[in-house]
């Protein structure tokens, strides 16, 4: 049987690639490869050979032009060495073939600035939303409760009945849309799959610190209409085992951390739909 293969891109300032690869393996992928962006641009590694693409957290290019903007420009315009192909063509082909992409924190920032999310009309190269500086004006490092939209088409959050608890660590996590109409379409399509909430997961909140950045409509995570592309500011790879929970020595917790389900769902989807 064909092995399920996950790819984690590193380089130019990412810092969560080891955790993401571990989460993929723990979630059920047979292989989880960490590849530097230079290996992809050189043609040594090709996206076509994988089923699940991980764009991880970090500080791409030092966030010098705004979070992930330089990498977004690079990926849209760079050519793959030794071919007539631009790298963005591999990304487009990867998405069009029904595969999965997950962007976490800096990876989410990269996806929205490339235009991969929310891709309302299937156009994955037109930016319509962004992530900007937190309302607090400060970097936020804390744990957050995230209410799940159970009506969402999102592949990654399938089976989450109420919500999940994950850490955030970012300075530019405030979600904004280009127009009110874009926001309306996101909400109508149940694409705002995770929202910051209080501990009971009852309702989304705009109150700090439960909402750490002031995101519009408390949006913490977003998917495209197919449910196969997802981005979120909180870090699922940082809570895949109970010992990563901040109160693990004081509470009785399940062995699996809340973030693991995203990777388990991804592995299940690949086995059931792509092999």
Q: Which residue has the tokens 């930016």?
A: 127
Of 16, 144, 154, 235, the catalytic one is: 235
Q: Are 12 and 60 in contact (CB under 8 A)?
A: yes
Sheet holding 100-104, edge to edge: 31-36, 5-10, 52-55, 100-104, 229-232, 219-223, 194-197, 140-148, 163-170
Buried-exposed string 80-98: b where 16+ CB fall within 10 A, e elsewhere = beeeeeebbebbeebbeee
Question: Is-catalytic flag, 187?
Answer: no
150 CB neighbour count, 10 Å cutoff: 15
Candidates 177, 178, 171, 142; CA nearest to 63 is 171
Distance CA 8, CA 32 (A): 7
Question: Is-catalytic flag, 198?
Answer: no
Of 17, 19, 172, 237, the catalytic one is: 237
Q: Which residue has the tokens 């501990």?
A: 199
Question: Is-catalytic flag, 172?
Answer: no
Q: Which two tokens stand for residue 271?
A: 């086995």
3-class secondary structure, 11 = coil
Q: Which two tokens stand for residue 216?
A: 């519009």
Q: Which two tokens stand for residue 16?
A: 């969560």
Of 16, 17, 51, 105, the catalytic one is: 105
Peptide bond into 118 cis (omega under 30): yes
| Catalytic positions, written as ranges | 105, 235, 237
């Amino acid at each position: 049987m064909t092995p399920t293969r996950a790819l984690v891109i590193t380089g130019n300032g990412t810092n969560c690639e080891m955790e993401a690869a571990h989460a993929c393996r723990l979630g059920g992928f047979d292989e989880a490869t960490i590849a530097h962006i230079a290996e992809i641009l050189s043609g040594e590694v090709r996206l076509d050979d994988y089923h699940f693409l991980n764009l991880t957290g970090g500080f791409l290019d030092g966030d010098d032009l705004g979070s992930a903007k330089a990498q977004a420009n690079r990926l849209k315009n760079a050519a793959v060495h030794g071919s007539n192909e631009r790298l963005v063509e591999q990304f487009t082909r990867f998405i069009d073939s029904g595969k999965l992409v997950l962007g976490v924190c800096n990876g989410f920032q990269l996806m929205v600035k490339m235009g991969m999310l929310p891709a309302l009309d299937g156009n994955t190269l037109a930016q319509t939303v962004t992530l900007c500086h937190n309302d607090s004006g400060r970097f936020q490092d804390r744990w957050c409760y995230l209410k799940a939209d159970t009506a969402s088409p999102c592949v990654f959050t399938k089976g989450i009945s109420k919500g999940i608890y994950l850490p955030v660590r970012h300075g530019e996590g405030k979600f904004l849309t280009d127009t009110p109409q874009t926001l309306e379409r996101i909400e109508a399509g149940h694409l705002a799959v995770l929202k910051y909430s209080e501990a009971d997961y009852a309702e989304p909140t705009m109150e700090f610190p439960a909402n750490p950045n002031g995101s519009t409509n408390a949006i913490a995570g977003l998917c495209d209409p197919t449910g196969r592309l997802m981005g979120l500011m909180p870090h699922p790879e940082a809570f895949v085992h109970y010992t990563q929970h901040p109160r693990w020595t004081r509470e009785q917790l399940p062995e699996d951390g809340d973030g693991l389900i995203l990777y388990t769902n991804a592995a299940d989807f690949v086995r059931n739909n792509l092999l």
